[in-house]
Amino acid sequence: MDEIERTIERLRAEVRRAAVSGDRTRARAMRAELREAERAWDESLARLEERPPASLGSAPVDQPGPLLPVREQVHQALTLLGTPAAQRLIIAVHEAFFGSPLAAARLTSLRRDEERSFRAAPYSRPYYLCTALTADLLAPARGLLAVSTWPIERRVIGPLSPRVNYLEAAIRVAESLLRMPKPSQAAERLLRRFAANIPGAADGARPKDPHLVVAAAHAELEIHSAEDGSVRREAAARARARLDDAEQLFGSRMRVIPRTGTGA
Amino acid sequence: MSTLTALARARAVASAVAQPISTVRHVHVSDRPLVLIPLALAGEASAPLAAMVGDDPGSARLLVVAQPRNRDQRFAFAAGLATVILGYIDTFRSAVEDASSGADREPRQRFADAPQVLVPNRAGIGFVRLLGRSTRFRRSDGEYAVDPAVPVLGRWLTFLAERAEYPGSCLLLAATEALALHWASGQSPVEDLNLAALLGWVDPPSGMTGPEAAAAAEDPLTCPPAGPATDPTFDNEVLAPLIAACARADGDAAAHRAEASLRAALSGQLTPTWKLMWRAVGLLRGLPPGGRVAPRWDADKDAFTGYVTYLGEGGPPQPRRDSAVAAARRLDWLERAQAGYAIQRALDDPLVMAEYRMTGEAFAGTVTAAEPGRIDGTGRRRKLRPLITVTTEDPVRIEAGTVLSTPGRPGQKALVVSVYAGRPARVVLELSGGMGRALIPVPGSVPEVGDRLCYTALSDSYQRSWPFPAREQTPWTHGGPPPEYVPADEDASEVWS
Amino acid sequence: MTIEARLDHIRGAVPPRNHNARTIAALTSNPGCARRAIMDAAGVDKQRLASCAGFPAPFGQSQFAITRGNAFEAQVKANGCAELLRLLREGLGLPLPEVSYADLEEVGGNTSRELRHSRTRGLLARAAASGADAGTLFDHPLLRLAVAGQQVYLEPDLIAFRLHGQFHVVEMKSFAVIDGQADGDKVAAAATQSAVYVLALRELLAGEGYGPDTVSHEAVLVCPENFSNAPVATLVDVRKQLTVLRRQLSRLEHIDSLVELLPPGLTLDLKADEAGVAGRPPAELAGAIRTVPARYVPECLATCEMCYFCREEARGATATLGRDVRDDLGAVETVHAALGLADGTLDPADDLAEAAAMLQVAARLRREALGGTA
């Protein structure tokens, strides 16, 4: 064990020196050796203690018996929100209203998996988790997830749409909170964060009043909804006309379909 | 910075070892200081990662936060640190001494000694300040309760950090600054901020020159940084995997193992600095203390006593920002304290006085003529006013009519009657005071021909501060009287993420 | 040989290092150093070079700092920049209808720089031309700046937004503002980086026919408040930094005059093999580096990867002790000369007579006070 420890010390120093000298190849090689040494140390220790070794670098431990697969949980959260949303918000909503926290790592490959599944057997599932489309280029909007059963208008992102979606999400969160007999702390926290960023939704007192949030969100929505709506309708029409089924769900990557007059 | 210290640096370069820039020690060094070496997590305002702390070289306590982003663990760390630091401070709350001065009507007491905390560098003082700020408003009850010792620690850390701004105060010292006050290295002041490098110059190990020792000190692999910042390659290659392992560990045994590995790594980063700190303490103790170190430490003891009393009476934690009056008063205090501190060191130390001799604000020379019995009969009463002539090589820039004094004769004033500026210069001084009450001077009270003396207009006599309005009378131009500080719920729940 | 070809030759057979705002900002810190100017113009990997010459540099970034920075930025920009909008509305009076957000990171899945840059140009030009409805927030714009004759692509992690017809650069930094105060050095560094983006943005709009006033000289600095992740925004005036930057960049334009002075075949090529292992002997490499004059000052230790190499080279110069100490020594070049003047063993030239006298007085005073051992 002592010898492994000495090896680990030496390798740590080598990795650090390689990093400082800008020698990335050597640093990578040394790092790999270091991981090996650390694993060997852990195994020796486990043998001494007669316990199963903790595997370094393994995937995070499963939550005790999730009730639903990840795609179902994401679908639940998105259905509550009613608008395309980013990973962070989806996770926060799920934790607030559906109990268990979603592990972020599981969402990263979700979109790709869903697209592959759709292309392999289109419409074989009741819904797919898909992307939102940018209004100007009908390309996949970065970082957002949406539900395939929504009309394209709801899945299109124009310049004002991120804000509009945020306000609509606030309303849906507030309304869901009102339906809960005893709202969780996570739900209250989520509402507080929305309230802080919507003018007129926070009156300084704690806890935040959901009715106030709804009213304030509606008030600001009125400013943006007309213009946002027309951009979305125009984009949706273009998408129906020019994109195939898969592209309508997952965006167009190969061809850039700009609105006439903008130029790329 | 002056020509003298610059010359000392040049000499250090040539001789490959640091050169003294003082002949006495100008800081108080406690018999039992508390060495505190904090480490912070990169990228955060004040996320503690670890600390090594103790009042004895053989008894270092290591405190570690295994998951630095976890709020509960941070407060557990703060509670652990509180146990050590408050325990240390408590040991100074028993013995008292008499502190009355002539001006007091009633006898006054203060604690006979005060705590002294030593951190490696100025950044360490900054960490103490921030940690104090992030903990002093916490509450031990309610929704965001913490261990009751935590807000108390916060107040003490803030008190120490504020004291550290006062020139001459020694309750909280940075080792690099204390060393740099007494030695000039052969590197730049920027490089002196590295404790290991500075010590390499001041006290090179046998077989190495100063620059060699300093160069060795710059390799973070053999000589970890003194903190609070950690070395980035340590963070990336060692710390991050260990912290990840702590977070991943499932089961008590695995968690225990992971934390033990983390502690070992952090101990490896802190222990070398721990040894350096005690070496610095030893080097400072090796210098004889200047005469005014003890009175300055008395002032520190007064401040300590005052704060203990204030806390005992239930005083609220220090507000976030100074009120207008407090800010102005503090600034004025700091300016006068800075000037006063420099003068005190000059009066204690001929090498520091030499800087004023270079600018002509002081001169040292030999008495070449003396009239010890001279009487001034012009006024209503006859007065004893001896005359002496001092001859000096120094570039004198003092005018006739200025009142001077000499460090060795504090009660005696010397009025400049005339100056013959030349090389050498001759200054005629009329003396008064410190010679007894009669018209004949007490033997030895007047300088004699051949005596070598230094005269200067600088004095460290107490100056009344500019009258500041009381808090309640803050002028409206400065926002009016500040509201009374009432500890608020928001303070206790302030996020520390 | 053209200047570009010569710079390529100096760099050797590797692709040039990309500039970013931080490295451009660092150019302003030591304008008088030809070695740095040449290396930066040629795109040399200074970290590798210093290491292969035997003087590895003490620089690196902790992943904790990077992670925290990324997390803070992601949080501020989440949900159509909801938190940023609040800051801009509350602090700068951004009107409620102005919430339009455009993400310029990808162009339909294509991330080629030319494409991104031209899309950025198009959208920003359109915003400048029309009124308030043509765009408020522009995320991941790809800007360009002419540096030493090269076009450098700059990707701010910031957003340019429009308020009252003016664009503002927004910079997100994860150092904290505590009780209204932040670390002065960090704010200064952020200000300089923002100035780089302001310049680049002005250059872009100038190409579309818009004057410099289209871009405000006030950048918006967004930092965490106190000990939390909640952001707070401050306006930072970067006019001073703009002046310094422009001056330094124009000096770099005249890099040809510096290059002319170098030996014709000079190269700093590391002669690396296929595995990337450097093959050039360190002593030879050091010799090549030394043909390009440097101007070492202690500040280099915080800003340039060649610092240890140049410091070693400068041993014995008073500049290594810092500008203040050098000035206090009468601005004499070397430590040896300063000591010689102080001891009287060196005869001063006329312009150094005063300095010599001062040094001699200092030497005498030290000797007296230290009892003859000074």
Pair (C189, C237) in one structural domain: yes
Tell me whether residues A163 and C101 touch, CB distance under 8 A. yes
Rounded to 10 degrees, the C-alpha dihedral C187/C184/C56/B221 comes to -120
Query: Does the residue A31 lie in any domain?
Result: yes
Query: Which pLDDT tens digit goes with each residue over B4-55?
Result: 999 999 999 999 999 999 999 999 999 999 999 999 999 887 799 999 999 9
Of B385, B399, B393, B407, give the one whose Cα is nearest residue B459: B407
Task: Categorize the per-residue pLDDT at A195 as very low, low, confident or very high, splitting at 50, 70 and 90.
Answer: very high
Pair (C83, C216) in one structural domain: yes
Residue of A21, A22, A253 lying closest to C108 (CB–CB) = A253
We report the CATH number of the domain holding residue B446 as: 2.40.30
Pair (B217, B89) in one structural domain: yes
Q: What is the pLDDT of residue C225?
A: 92
- Domain extent, residue B398, equals 362-456
Query: Does the residue C309 lie in any domain?
Result: no
Chain B interface mutation, best of A16, A35, A36, A49, highest count of B Cβ atoms under 10 Å: A16
Q: What is the pLDDT of residue A59?
A: 46
Residue of C78, C109, C118 lying closest to A88 (CB–CB) = C78
| Contact partners, residue A160, CB within 8 Å, separation at least 6 | A224, A227, A228, A231, C99, C100, C101
Pair (A149, A204) in one structural domain: yes
Q: Which residue has the higher pLDDT, A23 or B309?
A: B309
Q: What is the pLDDT of residue A262?
A: 40
Pair (C50, C170) in one structural domain: no
* Cα separation values, B80 from A143, B143, B148, Å: 42, 21, 12
**CA angle, B55 then B60 then B61, to 5°:** 105
Query: Which pLDDT tens digit goes with each residue over B295-310?
Result: 999 999 999 999 999 9
CA of C226 to nearest chain B CA: how many angstroms apart? 8
Pair (A42, A149) in one structural domain: no
Q: What is the pLDDT of residue A205?
A: 59
Q: Is A142 on the interface with C (CB under 8 A)?
A: yes
Pair (A203, A80) in one structural domain: yes
Tell me whether residues B496 and C67 touch, CB distance under 8 A. no
Chain A interface mutation, best of B233, B239, B495, highest count of A Cβ atoms under 10 Å: B233
Last residue of a domain, one of C281, C296, C311: C296
- Cα separation of the two ends of chain B: 41
Partner chains of A (3+ C-beta pairs under 8 Å): B, C
Of A66, A264, A101, A71, give the one whose Cα is nearest residue A190: A101
Pair (A100, A229) in one structural domain: yes
Query: Which residues of C fall within a CB distance of 8 Å from B218?
Result: 58, 308
Pair (C73, C203) in one structural domain: yes
Indicate the burial class of B276 (C-beta count within 10 angstroms; 0-12, 13-18, 19 or more): buried
Q: What is the pLDDT of residue C135?
A: 64
Pair (C98, C147) in one structural domain: yes
Query: Which pLDDT tens digit goes with each residue over C131-170?
Result: 655 667 888 888 988 887 677 888 876 666 767 778 999 9
- Domain extent, residue C357, equals 319-369
Residue B387 pLDDT exceeds 90: yes
C-alpha span between B389 and B263 (Å, rounded) = 69
Mean pLDDT of chain C: 87
Pair (A41, A102) in one structural domain: no
Q: What is the pLDDT of residue B164?
A: 95
DSSP C181: B
Pair (B295, B185) in one structural domain: yes
Pair (C266, C350) in one structural domain: no
Query: Which pLDDT tens digit goes with each residue over B105-138?
Result: 677 889 999 999 999 999 999 999 999 999 888 8
Residue B77 pLDDT exceeds 70: yes
Pair (C267, C152) in one structural domain: no
Query: Which residues of C fall within a CB distance of 8 Å from B196?
Result: none
Total domains, chain C: 3
Task: Categorize the per-residue pLDDT at A51 as very low, low, confident or very high, splitting at 50, 70 and 90.
Answer: low
Pair (B22, B83) in one structural domain: yes
C-alpha span between C86 and A200 (Å, rounded) = 11
Residue C42 pLDDT exceeds 70: yes
Q: Which residue has the higher pLDDT, A54 or A111?
A: A111
Pair (A13, A129) in one structural domain: no
Strand residues in chain C grouped as ranges (E): 101-103, 137-139, 143-147, 150-154, 159-163, 166-172, 218-224, 231-237
Tell me whether residues C56 and A25 touch, CB distance under 8 A. no
Q: What is the pLDDT of residue C165?
A: 76
**Mean pLDDT calculated for residue range B202-224:** 94
Query: Which pLDDT tens digit goes with each residue over C86-135?
Result: 998 888 888 888 888 888 876 655 567 788 888 889 888 888 887 655 66
Query: Does the residue B35 lie in any domain?
Result: yes
CA of B9 to nearest chain C CA: how many angstroms apart? 8
Out of B60-69, B238-247, B318-327, pick the least confident.
B318-327
Pair (A42, A126) in one structural domain: no
**Mean pLDDT calculated for residue range B231-238:** 93
Q: What is the pLDDT of residue B206?
A: 93
CA of C37 to nearest chain B CA: how many angstroms apart? 24
Query: Does the residue C305 lie in any domain?
Result: no
Pair (B173, B29) in one structural domain: yes
Q: Which residue has the higher pLDDT, C285 or A57?
A: C285
- Domain extent, residue A43, equals 2-49
Total domains, chain A: 2
Pair (C141, C36) in one structural domain: no
Pair (A108, A12) in one structural domain: no
Residue B465 pLDDT exceeds 70: no
